[in-house]
Amino acid sequence: MPTSVTEHFKLDKARFDATGAFDAILDLDTHLFVDPFLLATTAAPELRNARPRLLEYFGNILKLLASSDTRDDPFWRRAQAMLQFNEIGAFGLGYSKKGTGGSGIGRELRDQLLATAALIVRKGINDPVIFELVGIFEEGIGCDRISDMICRVLIEDFLAYTSRIFTDLGQKFPSFRFRNKEYNIPINPSKAPRAAVPVILVPCDLLRDLPIAHDWDDIGYVCAENERVRDQVNQIIGHRWKEETQHYSKKDLKELLLNNPQLLRELIEAYKSSEALPYDIKNDPQGEVIWKKVSTECVREHPLDLSFAKQAGPTAPLEVARRICAHYKALIEDHGLWYLLYRDQACTIRKPERACQLLFFGIASAYCVANDLDISPESNGGRGPVDFKFSRGARGKVIVEAKLSTNAKTVRSYDYQVPIYQRAENADHAIYLVLRVSEKDAILKRLLAHRDEVQATGIAGPEIIIVDGLPRESASKA
């Protein structure tokens, strides 16, 4: 069952939250990220003056590149070493496919990023802020890797912050040693004994669901209201700059910016003058946090008897998966949890698909943990992520794929992805859990019609369970 920091170390939740630290899940990454832009406003004393050090670090890389004549000279190799970031796997943030591990910045991406940075330097731009903007135009660089870079450069600040929080909460652990310094920090139990990975806390006021400079679609955060930048783009690619750039690949955008260095300068200045707020953890518009609390409450208030699974044979995982899916359906439809699928009080803006998946995972995990049944989130079978896998040992595996009825790939996923996942996981059964979140049922009707066509040929496709997630007249929030 997914376990938070406060749960595992038996900390008072209210007292922990009062510290301003994020109560991360120890064995599952949360899709929130450290935004370097927020370093200037954090209340954490250990990180309050970190942004100048961060910019100095990236500024030194640009200076090395400016001094480099060839890709393999000493200046270039030093810059390479400074830009080699391996994800620590201790922050509990990001997009890891399984558990809490990540990929960081590998050699290929490092060299690609260095080559781009060198081109930018040759254009006469040496502002280190450029490293905070690379997610807009560099292939393979996204918000998770930028967050990893920041955490790596400032790792000692985060360690000092974590050590102080645990000490202030009266916790005492064997010393964790890093670069000849000792910290009062515990080891992540989900990693031990394979690796001594520390639990590293992050201030909530550094976290965002997407950094302020994520990609060109989100450039509105940076310069939509900046007339000077908008005019620059209009002159280059036409008047409908936003519509035009939506069709640009990162490669196209990089070429655009490198061929128009003044536009890149304007973008940097617009970014510097932007405003950003940390992620609203209390209201949790993306559904990244609330699922844990709600799933725990639901298991307590709406128990589900799965005791049969302890005695049942290989068919137990399938029956348990079916019963949990049916129970999840009832919780959404009959017990008011449909409101968790929406971001606003009026329930007009849907949360991303991951929100319903996390809620299902939390509920299913809590029911399974007492029944000797394994459940793994986003298991990677070699052909892509499987949303959930139920199993007992090597037999009776069942996969559950959760989708929103508005997902344009729903029919294709049923026809193509789920059977592939079944084979990759050696699963015996698959269940397709579809949450209806729109009155427009065209996709849902196509899915059901396609299922009937498949079954008419004698092929037993994945089961389909439809969950009505449409808003009701009143919401009694759990």
Structure tokens at 80: 């390479």
Backbone angles phi, psi at 158, to 5 degrees: -70, -35
8 Å CB contact between 50 and 157: yes
8 Å CB contact between 102 and 89: yes
Residue with tokens 């003044």: 262
> pTM of the full predicted structure?
0.85
H or E segment at 468? Answer: strand 463-468
8 Å CB contact between 370 and 359: no
pLDDT for 87: 60
> What is the chain's Cα-based Rg?
24
List CB contacts of 108: < 8 A, sequence separation 6 or more. none
pLDDT for 97: 43
Cα–Cα distance, 447 to 322 (Å, whole number): 20
Cα–Cα distance, 456 to 423 (Å, whole number): 22
Residue with tokens 């790792």: 155
Residues pairing with 130 in the sheet = none
For residue 463, CA distances in Å to 192, 424, 434 come to: 37, 18, 11
313 CB-contact burial (10 Å; exposed 0-12 / middle 13-18 / buried 19+): exposed
Structure tokens at 364: 């299913």
pLDDT by residue for the chain (478 residues), tens only, comes to: 788 999 999 999 999 999 999 999 988 888 899 988 899 999 999 999 999 999 999 999 999 999 999 988 999 999 999 998 766 667 877 654 444 444 567 788 889 999 999 999 999 999 999 998 887 788 888 778 888 889 999 999 999 999 999 999 999 999 899 999 999 999 988 776 667 889 999 999 999 986 545 444 444 444 444 455 556 555 555 544 455 555 667 787 788 888 888 878 888 887 887 777 899 999 999 999 999 999 889 888 999 988 888 777 777 888 999 999 999 999 999 999 999 999 988 888 999 999 999 999 999 988 887 677 777 766 655 545 567 888 876 667 888 989 999 998 888 888 877 777 777 777 888 899 999 999 999 999 999 998 998 888 887 788 999 999 999 875 444 4
Cα–Cα distance, 22 to 42 (Å, whole number): 13
Q: Which amino acid is at 383?
A: R
Q: Of 61, 1, 53, give the one whose Cα is nearest residue 27.
A: 1
Query: How crowded is residue 404: how many other Cβ atoms within 10 Å of its Cβ?
Result: 22
8 Å CB contact between 343 and 350: yes
For residue 15, CA distances in Å to 12, 21, 165, 170 come to: 5, 10, 11, 11
Cα–Cα distance, 86 to 149 (Å, whole number): 8
Backbone angles phi, psi at 183, to 5 degrees: -130, 150
Residues pairing with 388 in the sheet = 377, 400
Query: How crowded is residue 258: how many other Cβ atoms within 10 Å of its Cβ?
Result: 17
Cα four-point dihedral sign 263, 269, 275, 281: positive
The bridge status of strand 374-380 relative to strand 385-392 is antiparallel
8 Å CB contact between 101 and 86: no
Cα–Cα distance, 386 to 403 (Å, whole number): 12
| SS3 of the chain: helix, strand, coil, percent, to 5 | 45, 15, 40
pLDDT for 259: 87
pLDDT for 391: 81
Query: How crowded is residue 42: how many other Cβ atoms within 10 Å of its Cβ?
Result: 22
